Structure 1
């Protein structure tokens, strides 16, 4: 059942590419309680998912490559308009710049994101 921890977490983790090893063992992700896994290599055109059959969960569509679906979700959640051009740039490049962050959230303090950006992107803004 969706939302319940997987009975075969080890099998799913073993099926993921080795490039994601550090994420597989990251305590913050609590993989032992995972219901599903999504990943995307920079060279892949779309997201990968485990276990098989996740397509039957349409609410996950925004994770599986639909920029329009994510835009709707984000605008509803944040109760503000999201710049579609910048959003598409971020989605297609799998990267983000300081300028893009400022367009998406003019109130953001870039210094507060420095450690997160370094960890996620492997570089400074």
Structure 2
């Protein structure tokens, strides 16, 4: 994002739940193609994360991360900027006031989810949003941001590809992160959730086959490859 934002701005700029879920699946599929090594991937998506729940996640390898839980209730977004002034670790081991205080009952289990807390049960969060299945907008808590901080909750760097949802934005990101050329037409196809074929894969990573990606396609819930005519 060119300008600095907070969770307030993010709430206005995120797409609806269905579009966000599709985007997250596309990002995870692209990373799976570009990075066969799961540990090196930036984006992931688990369509069977828990009973009735799917989870999209991002880890940048430097301590910043987000998780998005999709369920029948809607969607819950947790972001953590490890250098944020609003980190629990600079606030006496407690989440910054207002960040999670108003999360409704439908999403409280996400706040307390062990995967999103540290070994002491403290929620690892600097930014939080939620959207119920019948809501027409994203919600966040009432927050007094630290004074004089340009990026108080870490939102500016965490959610760039969820705000700039163009294939060109992913191409720029991936060419920088993976340090290799990335075919824009292929990115557009995956953003459109086009079923994969070998030609599409090879345009992104000539060393990956459909068989290599079978587990990832299933885990992500990406549309399966079209069957070859008999």
TM-score (norm 2): 0.34
> Shift of the alpha carbon at 1:30?
2.2
- Write out per-residue CA displacement over residues 85-112 of structure 1, whole angstroms, 9 at most, x where no aligned residue: 1111211x23441332221111114323
> Shift of the alpha carbon at 1:61?
2.1
> Shift of the alpha carbon at 1:49?
6.9
Residue 84 in structure 1 maps to residue 202 in structure 2: no
1:21-36 equivalences under 5 Å are: 30-32=115-117, 33-36=124-127
- Structure number with bigger Rg: 2
Structure with bigger helix share is 1
Residue 106 in structure 1 maps to residue 206 in structure 2: yes
- Aligned partner of 1:97 in structure 2 is 196
User: What runs of 5+ residues in structure 1 fail to find an aligned partner?
Assistant: 16-23, 39-47
Alpha carbons of structure 1 residues 124 and 50: separation in structure 2 relative to 1, 3 Å: same
Alpha carbons of structure 1 residues 122 and 94: separation in structure 2 relative to 1, 3 Å: closer
Give, in whole Å, the separation in 2 of the partners of 1:67 and 1:12: 34
Give, in whole Å, the separation in 2 of the partners of 1:72 and 1:116: 23
RMSD of the TM alignment (CA)? 4.2
Partner of residue 162 from structure 2, selected from 42, 59, 63: 63
Alpha carbons of structure 1 residues 81 and 121: separation in structure 2 relative to 1, 3 Å: same
Give, in whole Å, the separation in 1 of the partners of 2:139 and 2:209: 35
Structure with bigger strand share is 2
- Aligned partner of 1:45 in structure 2 is none
User: What runs of 5+ residues in structure 2 fail to find an aligned partner?
Assistant: 1-5, 7-79, 82-86, 89-94, 118-123, 130-136, 142-152, 226-230
Alpha carbons of structure 1 residues 66 and 123: separation in structure 2 relative to 1, 3 Å: closer
TM-score (norm 1): 0.56
**What is the aligned length?**
105
